[in-house]
Amino acid sequence: MSSIAFIGLGNMGGPMAANLVKAGHQVTGFDLSEASCAEAKAAGVAIAASAAGAVAGADAIVTMLPAGKHVRAVWAEIVPAAKAGAVLIDSSTIDVESARAVHALASAAGLKPVDAPVSGGTGGAKGATLTFMVGGGDDAFALAKPILEAMGKRIVHCGGAGAGQAAKICNNMILGISMIAVGEGFALAEKLGLSHQALFDVASTSSGQCWSLTTYCPVPGPVPTSPANNGYKPGFAAELMLKDLNLSQEAAKAAGAATPLGSAAAELYARFAEAGHAGVDFSGIIEMLRKG
Ligand code: NAD
């Protein structure tokens, strides 16, 4: 059993903290939202009056916050209050630059930081089946791994500081582009009089095969569990896909990488979100693609 602090008890952080409690850890949490604190308290998380108060004496600290600016602000507060040698795990999806900046801050204070963004969404957070993509030193990874195992089922050490965030945004850029590609394929098939099932049967066993087609098919029918069969209820909301695509474009610009399709995907998801579909599952973009 470890003493763990958890800052950011929202849609993802709440159930993740609850899974740490279920695994037998002593968890103290903090969130600016009273409702999130109340829900976490009901799941067995002790609630502190501040982020600094939550981390005092903790062996491990997890943050699950909206964006880079929140992580920078919270880490600036908790790093000076953390116990010597504590492992700091940021599981938020944030820009690589902020991830590297908070790594440097924590390392300079003698702490063990890792960036450990997740894939798997709120279902994975509840079921403790998340995939963690981890960036950081070998010693920090070794300390973080058993804690992450209580919240996920696949823990991948991707490299040094920021490598977890890099893996996450590259993966999600591929996903955003591939969902648009599959959507365009079905939209063209419809105009050509080809049935959804016929295209699925061919493409799913041919060179067009990909996750966006075989697991998350954007038209109803071929994959009964995909959000297309449920009015495009998320799942993974378009606004979160847009966030990750924008992070990929920021990173591409900073690193001098050419990502023309990533850039086009970010523009299309921005248009989709602005048209009032920010909360719709990201596969729903097929409805906009049909209209052109
Ligand atoms: P959320 O908005 O539900 O939760 C974030 C929480 O952080 C909120 O409860 C908010 O009150 C709290 N918070 C903000 N600033 C704070 C501060 N200074 N101190 C303490 N608490 C603070 O968001 P979420 O869906 O849980 O997502 C969290 C992160 O996980 C994001 O970076 C998101 O991109 C990433 N993510 C989300 C999903 C998903 O499906 N929801 C999937 C993968 C990754």
Model pLDDT for residues 29-50, shown as the tens digit of each residue: 999 999 999 999 999 999 999 9
Q: Hey, how many other C-beta atoms are within 10 angstroms of the C-beta on 184?
A: 14
Cβ atoms 212, 226 nearer than 8 A: no
Q: How far apart are CA 173 and CA 168, in angstroms?
A: 9
Give the pLDDT score at 1. Answer: 77
- Answer whether 277 contacts ligand 1 (Cβ < 6 A): no
- Give pLDDT tens digits for 165-180: 999 999 999 999 999 9
Mutate to test the pocket of ligand 1, among 9, 19, 30, 31 (most ligand atoms within 8 A of CB): 31
Give the pLDDT score at 30. Answer: 98
Structure tokens at 85: 């040698």
In the reported structure, the alpha carbon of residue 13 is separated from the centroid of ligand 1 by a whole-number distance in angstroms of: 7
Q: How far apart are CA 205 and CA 213, in angstroms?
A: 11
Give the pLDDT score at 261. Answer: 98
> Confidence class of residue 73 from pLDDT cuts 50, 70 and 90?
very high
Give the pLDDT score at 97. Answer: 95
Q: CB under 8 Å to 37, separation ≥6 — which residues?
A: 9, 29, 30, 31, 47
Over 90: is that where the pLDDT of 221 sits?
yes
Higher pLDDT, 120 or 103: 103
Mean pLDDT score, 145-157: 98
- Answer whether 180 contacts ligand 1 (Cβ < 6 A): no
Mean pLDDT of the chain: 97
Q: What is the crossing angle of helices 260-272 and 163-191, to 10°?
A: 70
Q: Which residues are catalytic?
A: 168
Q: CB under 8 Å to 231, separation ≥6 — which residues?
A: none
